[in-house]
Amino acid sequence: MIEFRQKLFSEYDAMRSLYVELMKYSDRNKFKLINSSQLLPTLKGNSVVIERFVISTAFGHRDRYRMYIKVGAKAKMPDEIRLPEHVYDKRLLNIKISLKNKLFSEEEVLKYKLFNNNRNRNRNGNGGGGDNGGGASFSSDLPFDLSIPVRELLGEALKYDKTSRSLVLEFSSIQDAIKAINILPFGLKYQIYLLEL
């Protein structure tokens, strides 16, 4: 009997994955690590703190990436959080079509015409023999890619509370989470921190 088990990710694994990807694709100076004792002083300034990053999955579903954010006292708080759309091509079909054909020389075409004429004249008698050989053949594989453009939000705001200055965002990939971090609508020149676990 086959037993399927849900993938489990600790918060440490998830936060480490986020940090590694941030260091690969973003400005390293834009992100700083803090520990729990530095959290309250940090939140008094123009700052955004990523408190938790969680990867979850259920059987038969894609992984989901959830980010828990606290916004500092001096950062701007908009009325609502709506992340922009991004467009990508969703591939529906990707196959190769094989084409095969035989190329005949002028001499072979002439023989074919003569053979057919003789055969038509001598249906009840002996006709001329056909030539099965000769000719050059070619084959080609043509790629056929069917894709459609898909528009979807970069991520979804599951919770946004201006009073507690907290935000929970959900994404379909770590890359989408990183794109969103770089365009959060909390004003200008705010510093982004990651809380160490």
Per DSSP, the residues of 89-132 read EEEEEEEEEEEEEEE--HHHHHHHHHHHHHHHHTSSSPPPPP--
Answer yes or no: do 78 and 96 share one domain: no
Whole-structure pTM value? 0.64
> 52: closest CA among 30, 69, 74?
69
| SS3 state at 13 | helix
Tens-place pLDDT, residues 16-34:
888 888 888 777 778 899 9
Residue 47 belongs to what domain range?
11-84+154-195
In a domain, 3, yes or no: no
Let me know if residue 58 belongs to a domain. Answer: yes
Three-class SS state of 196: coil
- Look-up of token digits 């990707």: 94
Q: What digits encode the pLDDT tens for the residues 123-162?
A: 555 544 444 455 555 566 667 677 888 778 889 999 999 9
Residue 99's CB is within 10 A of a number of other CB atoms, namely 9
pLDDT of residue 11: 78
Whether 78 is in a domain gets the answer: yes
- Domain membership flag for residue 2: no
For tokens 């002028």, the residue is: 106
DSSP for residue 39: H
138 and 176, same domain (yes or no): no
